[in-house]
Amino acid sequence: MSDSSLNDFSSQIREQALQHAAEAGGFPEPTNLLNLHAHTFYSFNYKDYSPSMFAVEAKKAGLGSAGIVDFDVLDGLDEFWNASRKLDLKACIGLESRVFVPEFADRVINSPGEPGICYHMGTGFTTTEIPHDAQDFLDGMRTTSEQRNRSLLDRVNAFLTPLTLDYERDVLPLTPNGNATERHLCLAYARKAAAQFPEESALRAFWSEKLGVPAGDLKDVPDGRGMTDLIRARTMKKGGVGYVQPDSGSFPNMAEMNQFVLKCGALPTLTWLDGCSDGEQAIRELVEVSQSSGVVAFNIIPDRNYTPGAPDQKLKNLQEVIRLTQELELPLIGGTEMNSPGHKLVDSFETDELSAVHPVFLRGAHILHAHSTLQKFGNMGYLSEWASSHFGQVKEKNDFYDQFGEIFSPRADTRLQDSLSAEKAPAEVLALAKEAMTAA
């Protein structure tokens, strides 16, 4: 069975391919490399990776920890959890969306050109069996996203005529569960234009006229990163014909999303872009606002925040915000998104710029893996009643979950489950983890 079967839209075919890959083995020993922020084809992955495919590729690359984060859905949760267990891969599952932060209504945060709007996450989801009101919120995010896409499509279609897309026919087939994103729209426009204008000169002339770029300057024609990014920038982002300025009614408030994440037993997580916006320059204030409604973790995509060997303001911002997460004992989640061509499978932690901070990301990966395992098997996750009753200080709690996450891996799941109990003290849980690993 070929690797491409791991990306098939049929869950049965993917499951068979995953089983075949697990049985074939031959993977390298796991290292301290990690990526806890990869998107899958349930939102957008530029290589069309399914959760199973990402797990297998992570294992092939020697990643010790891996995690998926999709926009507005938990559709990949069960598949990725299953894949991580079959492959003995430390794992976590997250969800990303955009939210409105009333306290920053007049400041751009990390969604360029959109004051008050913030990309935001929940991390460490362990089940799709969530409370009814949480499910209603999740369903609402998917519905709102689709409504935004359809309205956007209508506006862009009017501008790009005679090139027009049909949402059902041209866009939805690009994703397995109907959760399309702006990147799917851009890819669909690029591919349909290539079919409609098969001569490259005609294709370039069309895009040159519509997007206001000289035909010879168009990059990655017909549907590479340069082309799809240009379509997105000129038609869907601020200043584009399809763009509508969001407001407090366009997205849920951060506090509302945090409540949803907490009800699901996961960890509300603040995301950071590069520290250059007005909002991110007031990062301590932003953290305080986010913590007031439940945020307990922090997400950074490190590779995009520096140029190797060339110290600049972005690198300084990166170093400062990492120091802030350490000061505040916020577990740090890191990884590359893989939602745009050229994104890596794993950040370059071997570089001078990242090697010094790699242990901070590794500690965050251990904590998330430990939270996910203990929450799944014993309701003993990072924000559980069990954790609250045993840890008086955040550092003490982080130390425990870090130790558990370093010791334990999924191959010992069954042995741990058989002996795990909320009546156990933290030291006993760590001893159980060691015993389970020895016996596995």
pLDDT of residue 247: 65
**Helix (H) / strand (E) containing 334:** strand 332-334
Position 2 pLDDT exceeds 70: no
pTM of the shown model: 0.96
DSSP 129: -
- The pLDDT confidence band at residue 1, using thresholds 50, 70 and 90, is low
Report the C-alpha gap between 411 and 88 in whole angstroms: 5
Cα separation values, 287 from 100, 336, 413, Å: 14, 22, 35
150-207: pLDDT as tens digits: 999 999 999 999 999 999 999 999 999 999 999 999 999 999 999 999 999 999 999 9
315-353: pLDDT as tens digits: 999 999 999 999 999 999 999 999 988 899 999 999 999
- Rounded to 5°, the CA angle 118-236-7 comes to 80
pLDDT of residue 244: 84
The upper half-sphere exposure of residue 218, i.e. CA atoms within 13 Å in the direction of its Cβ, equals: 26
pLDDT of residue 216: 96
Q: Which two tokens stand for residue 352?
A: 């001078």
- The pLDDT confidence band at residue 424, using thresholds 50, 70 and 90, is very high
3-state secondary structure of 438: helix
What's the first-to-final CA gap in the chain, in angstroms? 29
> What average pLDDT is seen over the chain?
96
Question: Taking Cα atoms as reference points, which of 407, 254, 300, 330 lies closest to residue 36?
Answer: 300
387-421: pLDDT as tens digits: 999 999 999 999 999 999 999 999 999 999 999 99
Q: Please compute the mean of the pLDDT values over residues 52-80 and round it to a whole number.
A: 98
CA torsion 308-309-314-320 (nearest 10°) is 100
223-264: pLDDT as tens digits: 999 999 999 999 998 889 888 877 667 789 999 999 999 999
pLDDT of residue 308: 85
Q: Are 383 and 296 in contact (CB under 8 A)?
A: yes
